[in-house]
């Protein structure tokens, strides 16, 4: 595997994803929490950083940990750090070193740059630049404005590049990373979904033995794939619970429960709608509603799992971005955030936690799900928030409001599917506004609810743009909703991007 040391760059996770796309396993670790080097770590990549190597207290690493042991590749800040430590000069750059650039010098004898074309486009993004390198360095690539685009420390497997190979704007970035990971470090490209399934199931069998595991399923991709993996390992000893919180989509409870049963899972559906509605009664503040939903869920799940005897483990669909300790570099001090997404369950239930997907990125979870033969309709589902329609009904929640929103949402989502637009948007849904407006139907004046439709494009939910759905499509959905859903006489479409808006309204 490859070790990626994070110095706080926004691109560190992208480096990991690119390396994984080469079917090579890698892990991200904070620069100041380096794991012991074992024989299976074949190389190290030092990430970028928003810091400057010239600042006191900026992130640093002891290079002797790796040098002459395994190959080292510094990217951007990583490259500047190596140059700085070895006697080079790093200064604030005076010319523009942000955006696209072309490599006008490429040393093709160098293994890192094998088959990288002259004139290929790369992406630069740095405020500092390497102005001079010591005699022990050779410059292996340049652009018109950046003399030291890439270097090698002579006679050593230590390389630095100031551009970012991990972003798609660097057109041959993947080839360059392949040169490093495969040719220089000698990693075998054998980390595949099949191999992941095989080794994960074997490990789970060994770890869990005859123990019982309980797991809450949500109908989402992560919990489903995690459950199928655990099920493959221990079969009926996996007890799954699917809670109807009364805030799911129309017919979702029945449909999802049915498909889980078809997959052979040992699953119990729990109708807890009334408990949730009671807990939510009269609450209008979004955070109070979220807490009420979260607490009720934990209570219901806890109660259900106590009906099972001898359960030792709690299975969870946690994925890698939830467990990476992110380095955040604020001013001169560097902190590490550990944001393990455990939702309060294990603490309350005193169970050991098993998380078979905690080394995978979301796209990898989908590939593993495909390998496991999970229905593409489940794997391709849009994200849906845990509090469900509870945060899409602005104001207080009642069963009647849920019914109205379910009807509206169902028309919108099925229309997206029928128009072939579902897979083109990242997430979609409807919001019931606490507003009534005047309308006219036939000869009658109406005074009914307003709903907003929301559809966004995104890659990770961190930023998003409103989906530019065709007018014709929106017109049809609008009249369908107003004609079919009693209580709604006006439909609006949300055209806000994130930031500054968010995807959900609450
Ligand atoms: P926002 O609204 O923050 O949403 O732009 C980003 C993504 O997170 C989902 N989301 C939630 N998911 N519990 C969840 O499980 C929540 O409380 C919650 N709030 C937002 C949202 O649906 C989107 O995918």
Query: DSSP labels for 9-44?
Result: -TTHHHHHHHHHHTT--EEEEETTSPPPP-TT--EE
Distance 387 CA to ligand 1 centre (A): 9
Tokens in use for 476? 């049809």
Note whether residue 385 is domain-resident: no
- Closest among 138, 130, 143 to 155, alpha carbons compared: 138
pTM assigned to the model: 0.88
CB atoms under 10 Å from CB of 8, counted, come to 23
Q: Coil, strand, or helix at residue 103? A: coil
**Is 162 in contact with 146 (CB distance < 8 Å)?**
yes
What is the domain extent for residue 362? 193-379
Largest CA distance in the chain: 88
Question: ipTM of the predicted structure?
Answer: 0.99
Domain boundary among 379, 412, 445: 379
Q: Does pLDDT of 483 surpass 60?
A: yes
Q: How far apart (Å, rounded) are the C-alpha atoms in residues 213 and 313?
A: 5
Q: How far apart (Å, rounded) are the C-alpha atoms in residues 408 and 484?
A: 9
**Is 113 in contact with 99 (CB distance < 8 Å)?**
no
Q: Does pLDDT of 103 surpass 80?
A: yes
Q: What is the pLDDT of residue 337?
A: 64
Distance 429 CA to ligand 1 centre (A): 12
The atom of ligand 1 lying closest to the CA of 386 is: 15
Q: 332 and 227 in one domain?
A: yes
Q: 213 and 146 in one domain?
A: no
Higher pLDDT, 145 or 493: 493
- pLDDT cut 90: percent of the chain above it: 88
Q: 75 and 11 in one domain?
A: yes
Q: 105 and 36 in one domain?
A: yes
CB atoms under 10 Å from CB of 102, counted, come to 13
The atom of ligand 1 lying closest to the CA of 383 is: 24
How many Cα atoms occupy the beta-carbon half-sphere of 272 within 13 Å?
A: 24
The atom of ligand 1 lying closest to the CA of 504 is: 2
Q: Which of 84, 97, 166, 506 is catalytic?
A: 166
Note whether residue 390 is domain-resident: no
Q: Does pLDDT of 207 surpass 80?
A: yes
Distance 321 CA to ligand 1 centre (A): 15
For the chain, the straight-line distance linking the first and the last C-alpha, in angstroms and rounded, comes to 41
Please list the residues that pair with 158 across neighbouring strands.
72
Domain count, the chain: 3
Mutate to test the pocket of ligand 1, among 503, 505, 506 (most ligand atoms within 8 A of CB): 503
Domain boundary among 138, 159, 184: 184
44 Cβ contact list (under 8 Å, min separation 6): 2, 3, 4, 5, 66, 70, 71, 72, 73
* For ligand 1, atom 14: residue with the closest CA: 385
166 is catalytic: yes
**Is 226 in contact with 198 (CB distance < 8 Å)?**
no
- pLDDT cut 70: percent of the chain above it: 96
* For ligand 1, atom 4: residue with the closest CA: 503
Note whether residue 245 is domain-resident: yes
76 is catalytic: yes
The atom of ligand 1 lying closest to the CA of 506 is: 2
Please list the residues that pair with 440 across neighbouring strands.
445
Q: 423 and 365 in one domain?
A: no
* For ligand 1, atom 18: residue with the closest CA: 385
Q: Coil, strand, or helix at residue 492? A: strand
- CB under 6 Å to ligand 1: residues? 290, 383, 385-387, 427, 461, 498, 502-504
Q: 472 and 403 in one domain?
A: yes
Q: How far apart (Å, rounded) are the C-alpha atoms in residues 150 and 167?
A: 16
**Is 182 in contact with 279 (CB distance < 8 Å)?**
no
Q: Which of 26, 51, 76, 240 is catalytic?
A: 76
Q: Which of 51, 84, 97, 164 is catalytic?
A: 164
User: Binding site: residue ranges?
Assistant: 218-224
Q: 370 and 273 in one domain?
A: yes
Name the band, by pLDDT with cuts 50, 70 and 90, for residue 266.
very high
Note whether residue 104 is domain-resident: yes
Note whether residue 171 is domain-resident: yes
Mutate to test the pocket of ligand 1, among 247, 383, 385 (most ligand atoms within 8 A of CB): 385
Note whether residue 266 is domain-resident: yes
Mutate to test the pocket of ligand 1, among 222, 426, 497, 504 (most ligand atoms within 8 A of CB): 504
H helices within 307-373, ranges in order?
320-323, 345-349, 362-371
Q: How do residues 306-352 score in pLDDT, each as one tens digit?
A: 999 999 999 999 999 888 887 877 655 677 766 554 455 666 678 99
Q: What is the pLDDT of residue 10?
A: 86
Question: What CATH number did the domain enclosing 484 receive?
Answer: 3.30.300.10
Q: 207 and 109 in one domain?
A: no
CB atoms under 10 Å from CB of 83, counted, come to 26
Distance 398 CA to ligand 1 centre (A): 21
Q: 475 and 445 in one domain?
A: yes
Distance 88 CA to ligand 1 centre (A): 46
Note whether residue 462 is domain-resident: yes
Distance 491 CA to ligand 1 centre (A): 23
Question: What CATH number did the domain enclosing 48 receive?
Answer: 3.40.50.880
Name the band, by pLDDT with cuts 50, 70 and 90, for residue 463.
confident
Domain boundary among 129, 154, 184: 184
Q: Does pLDDT of 395 surpass 90?
A: yes
Q: What is the pLDDT of residue 342?
A: 45
Q: How far apart (Å, rounded) are the C-alpha atoms in residues 191 and 21?
A: 9
Mutate to test the pocket of ligand 1, among 461, 462, 463, 467 (most ligand atoms within 8 A of CB): 461
User: Binding site for ATP: residue ranges?
Assistant: 218-224
Q: 52 and 160 in one domain?
A: yes
**Is 427 in contact with 458 (CB distance < 8 Å)?**
yes
Q: Does pLDDT of 57 surpass 80?
A: yes
Q: 464 and 445 in one domain?
A: yes
Q: 213 and 141 in one domain?
A: no
pLDDT averaged over every residue in the chain: 94
187 is catalytic: no
Note whether residue 504 is domain-resident: no
Question: What CATH number did the domain enclosing 219 receive?
Answer: 3.40.50.620
Mean pLDDT score, 407-417:
98
């Amino acid at each position: 595997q490859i070790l990626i040391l994070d110095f706080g760059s926004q691109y560190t996770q992208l480096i990991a994803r690119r390396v994984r796309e080469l079917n090579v396993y890698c892990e991200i670790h904070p620069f100041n929490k380096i794991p012991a080097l074992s024989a299976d770590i074949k190389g190290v990549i030092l990430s970028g950083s928003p810091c400057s190597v010239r600042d006191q207290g900026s992130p640093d690493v002891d290079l002797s940990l790796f040098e002459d042991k395994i190959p080292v590749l510094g990217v951007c800040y990583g490259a500047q750090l190596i140059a700085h430590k070895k006697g080079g000069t790093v200064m604030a750059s005076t010319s523009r070193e942000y955006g696209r650039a072309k490599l006008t010098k490429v040393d093709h004898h160098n293994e890192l740059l094998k088959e990288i074309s002259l004139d290929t486009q790369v992406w630069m993004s740095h405020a500092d630049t390497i102005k001079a390198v010591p005699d022990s360095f050779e410059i292996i690539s340049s652009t018109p404005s950046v003399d030291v685009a890439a270097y090698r420390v002579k006679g050593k497997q230590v390389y630095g590049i100031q551009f970012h190979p991990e972003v798609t704007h660097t057109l041959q970035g993947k080839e360059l990373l392949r040169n490093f990971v495969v040719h220089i470090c000698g990693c075998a490209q054998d980390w595949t979904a099949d191999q992941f399934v095989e080794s994960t199931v074997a490990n789970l069998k060994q770890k869990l033995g005859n123990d019982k595991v309980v797991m809450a399923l949500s109908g989402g991709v992560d919990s489903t794939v995690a459950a199928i993996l655990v099920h493959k390992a221990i079969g009926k000893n996996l007890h799954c619970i699917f809670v109807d919180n009364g805030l799911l989509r129309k017919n979702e409870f029945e449909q999802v429960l049915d498909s889980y049963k078809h997959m052979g899972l040992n699953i119990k559906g729990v109708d807890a709608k009334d408990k949730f509605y009671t807990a939510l009664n009269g609450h209008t503040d979004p955070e109070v509603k979220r807490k009420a939903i979260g607490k009720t869920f934990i209570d219901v799940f806890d109660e259900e799992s106590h009906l099972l005897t001898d359960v030792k483990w709690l299975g969870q669909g946690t994925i890698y971005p939830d467990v990476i300790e992110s380095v955040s570099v604020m001013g001169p001090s560097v902190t590490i955030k550990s944001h393990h997404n455990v939702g309060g369950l294990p603490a309350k239930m005193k169970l050991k936690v098993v998380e078979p997907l905690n080394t995978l990125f979301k796209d990898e979870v989908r590939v593993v799900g495909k390998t496991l033969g999970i229905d593409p309709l489940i794997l391709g589902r849009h994200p849906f928030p845990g509090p469900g329609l509870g945060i899409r009904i602005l104001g207080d929640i009642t069963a009647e409001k849920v019914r109205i929103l379910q009807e509206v949402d169902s028309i919108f989502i099925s229309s997206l599917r029928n128009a072939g637009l579902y897979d083109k948007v990242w997430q979609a849904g409807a919001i019931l506004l606490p507003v009534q407006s005047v309308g006219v139907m036939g000869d009658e004046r109406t005074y009914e609810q307003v709903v907003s439709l929301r559809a966004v494009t995104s890659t990770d939910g961190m930023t998003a743009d409103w989906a530019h759905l065709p007018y014709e499509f929106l017109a049809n959905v609008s009249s369908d909703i107003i004609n079919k859903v009693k209580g709604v006489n006006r439909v609006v479409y949300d055209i806000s991007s994130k930031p500054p808006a968010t995807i959900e309204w609450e």
